[in-house]
Amino acid sequence: MTDQPSEGPSQPAGEPADFTRVRRLPELQSTDVADLHDVLDSALVAHVGLVMDGRPFVLPMAYARDGDRVLLHGSTGSRLFLALRDGAEVCFSVTVLDGLVLARSAFESSMGYRSAMVFGSCVPVEGEARLRAFERLTERLLPGRWADVRQPNAKELAATAMLELPLSSWSVKISSDDPADSPEDLHTDYWAGTVPLLRMWGEPVPAEDLKAGVPIPDYIAKWRHGGA
Amino acid sequence: MTDQPSEGPSQPAGEPADFTRVRRLPELQSTDVADLHDVLDSALVAHVGLVMDGRPFVLPMAYARDGDRVLLHGSTGSRLFLALRDGAEVCFSVTVLDGLVLARSAFESSMGYRSAMVFGSCVPVEGEARLRAFERLTERLLPGRWADVRQPNAKELAATAMLELPLSSWSVKISSDDPADSPEDLHTDYWAGTVPLLRMWGEPVPAEDLKAGVPIPDYIAKWRHGGA
C-alpha cells in the first residue's frame, strides 16, 4: 500500500526549517491554517513525541485546541509530563483516519486520512489562566459539561500541570482521493473505491453509584462524532 | 481531567529496564500478552516515534500485527522511513479511545482507553518473506482483499520497504472503569457515567472510474469496526 500516513512531515507554515521539508507526496500537503484547525478539532487524543535520555517516547494525550495553541494537561507525578513542562522539544501528532481506499492493485491501496504535526515546546499556563484552560479542555472534550460539573478547587488546580503548545510550526497532510490505479489496471474486474470509517457516540452508561433519579444530560446528545 | 492516556509507559514484559517503569497509575497496567494483541488488533494506525538529528518525530503509519511482530511498510523515498529501516530506536504507540468518563468533578473526569507502546528497532523483511508480509498487511487492513486484488509485481515489491518490529519490549495500559469520584462528590446531582465511542464502516463508495457492473465485494460487509 502506498500513500499511507507514514510519508513524513511537510513544510510547516511560518518556519521553513529544512527538517520538515516535504519529501514524500508533497501534493497532499496543506498550508491552510483552517485545515490545521480542522484536523485538531476532529480528534480528542494526540500522540506527543519527545526525546528523553536520547530515546524516543510517544505519549497519547487528551488535548484541546484553543485558538492558536493547543492545551495539554497532566500530573506532576509523571516524569515524561514533567519533561514536557520543562520545555522538551516535541512533535505533537494528530491523525484522523477517514477510511480505506481500495485500488485494483494491492500496491496502490491506501488510506484516507488527515494528519497534523506541530513542532515546538510547551509552556506552562500559570495563574488565573489555569482555570480558563481547564474550562476550555473540559468543554472541548465534553461539550456542555463545564456548567454541569463540580469545577476544580484550588487543590485540584494545584495538582494539575496545564501546558500550552503554540501552533506556529506545523504541517498538515490530507489524503481524500479515489484510488490512483495504474492505467493498465483500470480495465480489470476488481472493485475499486473507498470505505469510510465513521465514529459516533453510543448510548451513555450511568455509573453504578449514580444517585437515583439523575437524568442523562441533554448536551450529550449534541456531541459530534468523536475522533481518536 | 486525570487518568487520560498521558500517564507514561508501563513496565514492559520481558525487559524491566528502568526507563519504562510504571510511575503513574500502575494499577492500569496489564502484562498479559493477550491484552497487547487486543490493543494492536483494534486499530489500523500506529504513531511511531523516533529521534532524528536529536529531534523527536512521530509518524502515523498503517501496520499489521503478525504473531509476535508488527509489520510496517513504506517508501524508500521517505527519509524518516529510511531511518526506521536502518534500525533507529522507536517507540511504537497505539491508542484506542473507547469512550469518555464523566465524573461529578471536572478533575476526576477522564477517558476509557487501551494503549500499547512497543520499544525496539525495526528489521527489514527480506526475500521471499516480503510477499507474505505484503499479504498479511493487506489482509489485516482489508480482510478478504488479497484474493480479490492485483497482487504486487516484482517492481512494486522492490519499491516497498517492508519492516518488522518484534513484540519483545512493550507496555499496555487499559482504563475501562467507572468514574472515580471523591466520596464527598457522590451525593451531588451531577450525572456520572461513561459515553462509549463507536467506530463502524460506512457504505462503500465506488471509484468514479470503476468499470460498469463490478459489484461491491461481499467481504467488506464482514469487516469489524475499525480503529484509528
Chain A residues whose CB is inside 8 A of the B82 CB are: none
* A-interface mutation test, from B18, B23, B45, most A Cβ less than 10 A away: B45
pTM, full prediction: 0.90
Chain B residues whose CB is inside 8 A of the A146 CB are: 106
Q: Do A73 and B1 touch (CB under 8 A)?
A: yes
**Three-state SS at B98:** strand
Chain B residues whose CB is inside 8 A of the A103 CB are: 149
The CA distance from B144 to the nearest CA of chain A, in Å, is 12
CA dist B110 and B91 (Å) reads: 24
Residue A117: closest C-alpha in chain B: B58
CA dist B76 and A66 (Å) reads: 37
The mean pLDDT value of chain B amounts to 88
Residue A206: closest C-alpha in chain B: B193
Rounded (10°) CA dihedral A219, A222, A226, B4: 0
Could you report the predicted ipTM of this complex, rounded to two decimals? Answer: 0.90
Q: Which three cell numbers stand for residue A228?
A: 481518536
Chain A residues whose CB is inside 8 A of the B134 CB are: 106
**Ordered per-residue pLDDT tens for chain A, 228 residues:** 544 555 444 434 433 333 444 445 667 888 899 999 999 999 999 999 999 999 999 999 999 999 999 999 987 777 888 999 999 999 999 999 999 999 999 999 999 999 999 999 999 999 989 999 999 999 999 999 999 999 999 999 988 889 999 999 999 999 988 899 999 999 999 999 999 999 999 999 999 999 999 999 999 988 976 543
Q: Do A1 and B141 touch (CB under 8 A)?
A: yes
Residues 6+ apart with CB under 8 A from A7: A24, A25, A28, A173, B74, B75, B78
The CA distance from B17 to the nearest CA of chain A, in Å, is 13
Q: Do B19 and A52 touch (CB under 8 A)?
A: yes
Chain B residues whose CB is inside 8 A of the A215 CB are: 191
Q: Do B149 and A105 touch (CB under 8 A)?
A: yes
Q: Which three cell numbers stand for residue A84?
A: 514536557
Phi, psi of B98 (to 5 degrees): -95, -15
**Three-state SS at B79:** helix
Q: Do B78 and A214 touch (CB under 8 A)?
A: no
Nearest to A191 among B80, B117, B215 (CB): B215
CA dist B13 and B169 (Å) reads: 6
Nearest to A6 among B6, B8, B60 (CB): B60
Give the count of Cβ contacts less than 8 A between chain A and B. 376
